[in-house]
């Protein structure tokens, strides 16, 4: 796998989806166990003609190109990292001296499965190892000899090796602040306890975690950091993307992006326990009081009844053990009654009552309720995705090669009421002749977001 054109994929780290595409046409033979049980539903497959029809007739390529060029110098795709990934896994990244129309025509002629977008650049110079052939793509103000151009490029230059023996010199100019949350990452931290755990699928209980992501990132980005221009995009797979397009966000350095990730990240139990000790930090207290507690009660307990799921109960008792309380002994008989006779809300009320009445909670400890709510709803962040300027993220309206679902921008306030079945697969979308309200609303959201700044 580490040869030829796949090499560029590996520079992105774990977000590469080579394997998921490569296995599409080669389904695994059934195991002995599978033969004895009900035959699993067939894995969704992408059909080339559907992809061609989608990009030629339905996909808002003009708006995607605007997204590509809106923050780049000269409004040209050649000053933005753009990558196209095809059904056979091939990935094309370089588009030299190409206009918006040419990019659209290229995509229509040879449609990819998905489009990836990265950094807006000032200049891009490729130098061969022996120095004999230097190719440059620069804006007009950088015209001149190679030596002169290098002198004119701002000193904050980033030099990387592209893996082909060439060094790429480029000056990053602007990039949206982006978050890419993937629920598969949650399994590493033992958070998902629905049937999707360790599988590449998504259910209504998983969607509760997406709602948690939106609450937490919306709080930090809007209420705390003051950003206004957030766009939420269903990833097409098992997650959600957040794009921030405020002018202040566009010019953040890698270090500044790292600092933002650091402000928000609490991926493991230990970090979370350390940051949630009583008295609760005002930053976290506001998040809990104003957003997360309500979400947990309304969406987790009342709507999804998650405390009648043994996996969640086991995990919560493990959390209680970490706080060194003997709460488990008070609760286990009642909580492990999971036949539905005791509702999740009643189970939760008993925990709250015990904590209140027996003063289990003490200073310098962690309130068990707060820890449970944060642990189950707080996002697992991937620092590299957000902080690295060279990282590419899938464009809205790309197709997920594994689920075959289309990546669609969503209205923040509608995310809580969204049903997974409403998110279209490519096959369903083509069958319905492109009639899908979420898809059409998504186009409006993207247009508004592009035109906001
Ligand atoms: Zn699930």
Q: How far apart are the CA of 22 and the centre of ligand 1, in A? A: 25
Task: Kindly state the helix (H) or strand (E) to which residue 100 belongs, with its residue range.
Answer: helix 100-109
- The one-character DSSP state at 42 is P
Q: How far apart are the CA of 106 and the centre of ligand 1, in A? A: 38
Backbone CA torsion sign across 206, 211, 212, 218: positive
State how far the Cα of 52 lies from the Cα of 66, in Å rounded to an integer. 21
pLDDT digits (tens, 9 = 90+) for 90-108: 998 867 667 889 999 999 9
| CA 74 to each of CA 41, 77, 122, 177: distance values in angstroms, whole numbers, following the listed order | 49, 9, 10, 21
CB–CB of 223/292 below 8 Å?
no
Q: How far apart are the CA of 229 and the centre of ligand 1, in A? A: 29
What domains can be seen in the chain, in order of their start residue?
Answer: 48-175 (no CATH), 178-377 (3.90.920.10)
State how far the Cα of 290 lies from the Cα of 223, in Å rounded to an integer. 11
With b for 16 or more beta-carbon neighbours within 10 A and e for fewer, the 104-139 pattern comes to: bebbeeebbbbbbbbbbbbbbbbbeeeeeeeebbbe
CB–CB of 375/17 below 8 Å?
no
Question: Considering only CA atoms, which of 192, 202, 186, 185 is closest in space to residue 238?
Answer: 202
State how far the Cα of 435 lies from the Cα of 433, in Å rounded to an integer. 6
Q: How far apart are the CA of 207 and the centre of ligand 1, in A? A: 7
Q: How far apart are the CA of 25 and the centre of ligand 1, in A? A: 25
Q: How far apart are the CA of 208 and the centre of ligand 1, in A? A: 9
Q: How far apart are the CA of 196 and the centre of ligand 1, in A? A: 4
Q: How far apart are the CA of 190 and the centre of ligand 1, in A? A: 13
Q: How far apart are the CA of 201 and the centre of ligand 1, in A? A: 7
Q: How far apart are the CA of 142 and the centre of ligand 1, in A? A: 52
Q: How far apart are the CA of 355 and the centre of ligand 1, in A? A: 30
Q: How far apart are the CA of 90 and the centre of ligand 1, in A? A: 31
Q: How far apart are the CA of 200 and the centre of ligand 1, in A? A: 9
Q: How far apart are the CA of 380 and the centre of ligand 1, in A? A: 16
pLDDT digits (tens, 9 = 90+) for 174-230: 899 999 999 999 999 999 998 888 777 789 999 999 999 999 999 999 999 999 999
Q: How far apart are the CA of 365 and the centre of ligand 1, in A? A: 32
Q: How far apart are the CA of 198 and the centre of ligand 1, in A? A: 10
Question: Considering only CA atoms, which of 310, 301, 321, 282 is closest in space to residue 377?
Answer: 301
* Through-space distance between the first and last CA atoms of the chain, rounded to whole angstroms: 41
Q: How far apart are the CA of 403 and the centre of ligand 1, in A? A: 14
State how far the Cα of 78 lies from the Cα of 139, in Å rounded to an integer. 10
Q: How far apart are the CA of 418 and the centre of ligand 1, in A? A: 15
Q: How far apart are the CA of 270 and the centre of ligand 1, in A? A: 25
Q: How far apart are the CA of 215 and the centre of ligand 1, in A? A: 19
CB–CB of 76/68 below 8 Å?
no
Q: How far apart are the CA of 54 and the centre of ligand 1, in A? A: 28
Q: Which two tokens stand for residue 286?
A: 């506001």
Q: How far apart are the CA of 317 and the centre of ligand 1, in A? A: 20
pLDDT of residue 71: 79
pLDDT of residue 40: 53
Residue 32's CB: how many other CB atoms inside 10 A? 6
Q: How far apart are the CA of 204 and the centre of ligand 1, in A? A: 6
Q: How far apart are the CA of 299 and the centre of ligand 1, in A? A: 14
Q: How far apart are the CA of 292 and the centre of ligand 1, in A? A: 20
Q: What is the pTM of this model?
A: 0.81
Q: How far apart are the CA of 186 and the centre of ligand 1, in A? A: 11
Q: How far apart are the CA of 3 and the centre of ligand 1, in A? A: 36
Ranges in the chain, pLDDT < 50: 1-38, 126-129, 131-147, 149, 153-168
Q: Which two tokens stand for residue 273?
A: 């326990």
Q: How far apart are the CA of 7 and the centre of ligand 1, in A? A: 33
Q: How far apart are the CA of 199 and the centre of ligand 1, in A? A: 9
pLDDT of residue 123: 54
pLDDT of residue 362: 56
Beta pairing, strands 239-244 & 167-174: unpaired
Q: How far apart are the CA of 319 and the centre of ligand 1, in A? A: 21
């Amino acid at each position: 796998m580490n040869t030829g054109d796949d090499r560029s994929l590996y520079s992105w780290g774990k977000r590469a989806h080579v394997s998921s595409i490569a296995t599409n046409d080669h389904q695994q033979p059934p195991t002995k166990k599978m033969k004895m049980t009900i035959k699993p539903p067939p894995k969704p497959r992408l059909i080339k003609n559907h992809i061609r029809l989608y990009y030629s007739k339905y996909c808002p390529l003009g708006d995607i190109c605007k997204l590509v060029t809106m923050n780049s110098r000269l409004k040209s795709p050649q000053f933005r990292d753009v990558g196209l990934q095809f059904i056979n896994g091939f990935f094309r990244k370089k588009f030299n001296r190409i206009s918006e129309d040419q990019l659209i025509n290229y995509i229509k002629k040879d449609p990819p499965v998905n489009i990836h977008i990265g950094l807006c650049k000032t200049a891009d110079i490729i130098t061969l190892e022996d120095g004999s052939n230097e190719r440059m793509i620069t804006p007009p103000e950088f015209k001149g000899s190679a030596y002169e151009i290098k002198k004119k490029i701002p000193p904050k230059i980033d030099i990387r090796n592209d893996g082909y023996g060439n060094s790429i010199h480029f000056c990053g100019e602007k990039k949206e602040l982006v978050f890419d949350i993937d629920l598969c990452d949650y399994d590493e931290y033992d958070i998902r306890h629905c049937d999707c755990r360790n599988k590449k699928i998504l259910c209504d209980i998983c969607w509760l975690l997406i709602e948690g992501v939106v609450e937490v990132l919306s709080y930090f980005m809007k209420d705390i950091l003051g950003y206004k221009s957030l766009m939420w995009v269903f990833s097409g797979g098992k997650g959600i993307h957040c794009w921030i397009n405020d002018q202040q966000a566009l010019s953040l350095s890698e270090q500044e992006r790292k600092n933002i990730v650091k402000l928000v990240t609490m991926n493991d139990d230990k970090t979370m326990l350390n940051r949630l000790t009583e008295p609760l930090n005002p930053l976290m207290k506001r998040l809990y009081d104003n957003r997360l507690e309500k979400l947990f009660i309304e969406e987790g307990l009342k709507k999804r009844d998650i405390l009648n799921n043994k996996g969640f109960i086991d995990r919560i008792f493990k959390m209680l053990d970490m706080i060194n309380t003997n709460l488990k002994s008070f609760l286990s008989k009642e909580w492990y009654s999971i036949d539905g006779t005791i509702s999740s809300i009643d189970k939760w009320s008993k925990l709250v009552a015990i904590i209140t009445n027996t003063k289990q909670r003490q200073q310098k400890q962690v309130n068990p309720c707060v820890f449970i709510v944060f642990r189950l709803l707080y996002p697992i962040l991937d620092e590299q995705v957000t902080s690295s300027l060279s990282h590419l993220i899938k464009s809205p309206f790309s197709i997920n090669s594994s689920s075959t679902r289309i990546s669609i921008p969503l209205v923040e306030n509608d995310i809580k009421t969204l049903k997974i079945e409403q998110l279209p697969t490519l096959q369903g979308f083509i069958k319905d002749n492109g009639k899908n309200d979420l898809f059409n609303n998504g186009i409006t959201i993207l247009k508004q977001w592009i035109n906001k700044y």
